Amino acid sequence: MNSTPTIAEWLVSYGNQAFEVVGVLAFALSGLIEAARKKLDLVGMAMVTALAAFGGGTLRDLLLNRRPFFWVENEFWLWAILGLCALALFFMRARHIELTERATQWPDALGLGIFAAGGTQIALDANMSPLIAVLMGVITAVFGGVLRDVVVNEIPRAFNDHQPYAVVAFAGGWVVVAANALNWSSFLAVGIGSLAIVSVRLAAMIFGWRLPTWRV
Amino acid sequence: MNSTPTIAEWLVSYGNQAFEVVGVLAFALSGLIEAARKKLDLVGMAMVTALAAFGGGTLRDLLLNRRPFFWVENEFWLWAILGLCALALFFMRARHIELTERATQWPDALGLGIFAAGGTQIALDANMSPLIAVLMGVITAVFGGVLRDVVVNEIPRAFNDHQPYAVVAFAGGWVVVAANALNWSSFLAVGIGSLAIVSVRLAAMIFGWRLPTWRV
Amino acid sequence: MNSTPTIAEWLVSYGNQAFEVVGVLAFALSGLIEAARKKLDLVGMAMVTALAAFGGGTLRDLLLNRRPFFWVENEFWLWAILGLCALALFFMRARHIELTERATQWPDALGLGIFAAGGTQIALDANMSPLIAVLMGVITAVFGGVLRDVVVNEIPRAFNDHQPYAVVAFAGGWVVVAANALNWSSFLAVGIGSLAIVSVRLAAMIFGWRLPTWRV
């Protein structure tokens, strides 16, 4: 059916795009900062930034056999990444920019929530079971960062920093599953799931929650 | 045709599942031990264990464009991995568990045979040529371990330990091809192929066979 | 329609295959040399050589959802890689082969041009937009090397050597796009695109052009 969208539909579509913008920018920033910390060149910066921003969603789409990819459909984002790297050229010359790991954690928490909740919803819409959907959400949110770290030759931070990161995304995915089971709209499900994940992640950062660790 | 299975069919299906159980557990164990050796956290353990157990088969299915994946169809396995990691939480606290590289080699040999022979059979069933099928078997058996090692920032053991590992899988794949050429059942082909690979691999371990190496 | 090819068609098909031969061999050589420098074993050599030669094109085909892969359709290449590694067994025993990084740059420049231009053309033929097509060309040309470097536990050379490599492929992709916009034949488009990329890359090597770098 091809009708003009109602105001509600328009708002939802607009809201979904706002989610997207924040999530992609947050992860792109984490990639850019990592690339700068490793003193990669222009190409490395563009690639690592793109991997961090699109890697998780692309892997999810490969696994779900979804096409076109997010960044093929919304080509704008590729120009944005290229523009970001052109901009970064100027910053390259600046001294004394402190690129601390902590600085990337704030936008990263936002990206985590949006990507995990959104990825879970997409997998549910593709008729995946709840567990698979939640794991696809985790993959969407975490594997951009994993690929970013693997490519710059580090053990993925998500795998060994003992912080609640992927587990928060995992738990929050079940919120999205529950909202779908209650027949809430996907917009609401993603919104509430994202909110839950971001809140818990921020709390974990602020209060310094840790996963159980190895006895030394 | 939808008829009740004969006892033979049931046995074969049961046998195939037994293969599967042993193969997946063997590789999952290798991932878990590697993760523990690297002192990864809970998430890293789950991810590396899952990569080791499902990575090779998933890559094969991506290349062959097969869906659903093994772990989507048999969701039980994902719960098993999650349970394994919950269990590992307790072991984390225990001192003095010796996790030697040698200890993982025994289950690993089993996984190698089952995954290589099974992967070859699956590729043959997808109408791949013999060489491609054998290589798909090698990919199934070896790339779980390769991904496991790449993610924990090591050069894949399969690529530089000069032991007959992937070459045994490669040779054994041709046994499966030959069995298919003789019109043996796929159960028999996989069984004999697995047996051949496991035997040769164990012999290689016991007698210390080596691949030709670089002159120092 | 199944008619006998005209001489022009035959020449074009022959020319395309010649491109292919040079490109694959160039990248395979880069993988083999890298594997030798890292003292990988026979299996590692075969895998890294194959990753370098087919990795970029395979990733492109996964992203474009194209099947069969290049190396499934042209199985000859797999035998060639296996043969190459058998040959390398003899060289393994030889001392004093100087495998300098510079030595690989010359064939690599050829591979870069052919794979980038060819990859762009393939993506255009799959109805991708110009930007996506150009990026698919870059992925085809660069990710074989990226996978090669990631697997041997190095930060990809293409990401941090500050040399014009991927950017040359990126720029040259637009030559292919322009040639297609002018309705030139795909053979001509790929030929001119390759020529442009190889020339600029060689010039960059000879004159030592550098990308803008970080201020120390």
Instruction: Tell me, yes or no, if C96 comes closer than 8 A to chain B by beta carbon.
Output: no
pLDDT tens sequence across A174-197: 999 999 999 999 889 999 999 999
Q: Which residues in chain C are contacts of A95 at CB distance < 8 A?
A: 215
Average pLDDT value over all residues in chain C: 86
Nearest-CA distance from A56 to chain C in Å?
14
pLDDT surpassing 80 at residue A125: yes
pLDDT value for A160: 86
Check residues C90 and A63 and name the one with the higher pLDDT. Answer: A63
Instruction: Tell me, yes or no, if B112 comes closer than 8 A to chain C by beta carbon.
Output: no
pLDDT surpassing 50 at residue A77: yes
Calculate the alpha carbon distances from B73 to A128, A131, A178, B67, B144 in Å: 10, 12, 22, 9, 19
Q: Which residues in chain C are contacts of A78 at CB distance < 8 A?
A: 131-132, 135
Q: Which residues in chain B are contacts of C65 at CB distance < 8 A?
A: 65
Check residues A125 and C87 and name the one with the higher pLDDT. Answer: A125
Least confident of A141-145, B79-83, C2-6, C9-13: C2-6
Q: What is the pTM of this model?
A: 0.90
Instruction: Tell me, yes or no, if A167 comes closer than 8 A to chain B by beta carbon.
Output: yes
pLDDT value for B127: 94
Residue B66's φ and ψ, nearest 5 degrees, are: -95, 135
Closest residue to B159, CB basis, from C44, C75, C150: C44
Nearest-CA distance from B62 to chain C in Å?
8
Amino acid at C67: R
- Say whether A8 sits in a helix, a strand or coil: helix
pLDDT surpassing 80 at residue A91: no
Residue of C nearest to B148 (CA): C151
Q: Which of A67, A155, A177 to mutate to test the interface with B (most CBs of B within 10 A)?
A: A155
Please tell me which chains touch C, using 3 or more CB pairs under 8 Å as the contact test: A, B
d(CA A154, CA A165): 17
Please tell me which chains touch B, using 3 or more CB pairs under 8 Å as the contact test: A, C
- Say whether B182 sits in a helix, a strand or coil: coil
State whether C146 and A151 contact (CB < 8 Å): yes
| C-beta of residue C34 within 8 angstroms of C-beta of residue C14 | no
pLDDT value for A41: 87
Instruction: Tell me, yes or no, if B86 comes closer than 8 A to chain A by beta carbon.
Output: no
- Chain centroid to CA A137: 9
Instruction: Tell me, yes or no, if A67 comes closer than 8 A to chain B by beta carbon.
Output: no
State whether A159 and B41 contact (CB < 8 Å): yes
Instruction: Tell me, yes or no, if C126 comes closer than 8 A to chain A by beta carbon.
Output: no
pLDDT value for C12: 67
pLDDT tens sequence across C15-28: 667 777 888 888 99
pLDDT tens sequence across C198-213: 999 999 999 989 887 6
d(CA C63, CA C46): 24
d(CA C1, CA A33): 54
Structure confidence at residue A1 as a pLDDT band (50, 70, 90): very low
Nearest-CA distance from B48 to chain A in Å?
9
State whether A166 and B95 contact (CB < 8 Å): no
Closest residue to A212, CB basis, from B92, B95, B153: B92
Instruction: Tell me, yes or no, if B153 comes closer than 8 A to chain A by beta carbon.
Output: yes
pLDDT value for B125: 94
H/E segment holding residue A148? helix A130-151
Structure confidence at residue A144 as a pLDDT band (50, 70, 90): very high
pLDDT value for C87: 81
pLDDT value for C1: 44
Helix, strand, coil shares of chain A, percent, nearest 5, are: 75, 0, 25
pLDDT tens sequence across B80-97: 888 888 887 776 665 555
Instruction: Tell me, yes or no, if B89 comes closer than 8 A to chain A by beta carbon.
Output: yes
Average pLDDT value over all residues in chain A: 86
Residue of A nearest to C134 (CA): A78
pLDDT value for B210: 87
d(CA B134, CA B171): 8
Give the residue-averaged pLDDT of B171-191: 95
Q: Which of A43, A82, A152, A153 to mutate to test the interface with C (most CBs of C within 10 A)?
A: A43
Q: Which residues in chain A are contacts of C166 at CB distance < 8 A?
A: 43, 47
Spell out where chain C has E strands. none
pLDDT surpassing 50 at residue B1: no
pLDDT surpassing 60 at residue B206: yes
Structure confidence at residue A8 as a pLDDT band (50, 70, 90): low
% of chain A beyond a pLDDT of 90: 52
pLDDT tens sequence across B128-170: 999 999 999 999 999 999 999 999 999 998 998 888 999 999 9
Residue of C nearest to A61 (CA): C63
Calculate the alpha carbon distances from C58 to C136, C158, C182 in Å: 11, 18, 29
Q: Which residues in chain B are contacts of A63 at CB distance < 8 A?
A: 58, 62, 69
d(CA C61, CA C72): 12
Nearest Cα neighbor of B197 from B141, B148, B133 is B141
Classify residue B49 by its DSSP letter.
H
Instruction: Tell me, yes or no, if B102 comes closer than 8 A to chain C by beta carbon.
Output: no
Least confident of A119-128, B72-81, C164-173: B72-81
Q: At a CB cut-off of 8 Å and minimum separation 6, what does B11 contact?
A: none
| C-beta of residue A99 within 8 angstroms of C-beta of residue A90 | no
pLDDT surpassing 90 at residue C129: yes
Q: Indicate if the alpha-carbon torsion angle C120, C124, C127, C129 is positive or negative.
A: positive
Nearest Cα neighbor of A209 from A163, A159, A157, A161 is A163
Least confident of A2-6, A208-212, B85-89: A2-6
Which of the listed ranges B4-13, C157-166, C176-185 does the model predict with the highest average pLDDT? C176-185
Give the residue-averaged pLDDT of C60-86: 89
pLDDT surpassing 90 at residue A35: no
Classify residue A67 by its DSSP letter.
-
Least confident of A31-40, A145-154, B115-124, C52-61: A31-40
Instruction: Tell me, yes or no, if A136 comes closer than 8 A to chain B by beta carbon.
Output: no
State whether B41 and A161 contact (CB < 8 Å): yes
Instruction: Tell me, yes or no, if C209 comes closer than 8 A to chain A by beta carbon.
Output: no
Structure confidence at residue C3 as a pLDDT band (50, 70, 90): low
pLDDT value for C48: 94
Q: Which of residues 32-51 of C touch B (CB under 8 A)?
A: 35, 38-44, 47-48
Closest residue to C92, CB basis, from B65, B153, B212: B212
d(CA A37, CA A93): 14
Q: Which residues in chain B are contacts of A215 at CB distance < 8 A?
A: 92-95
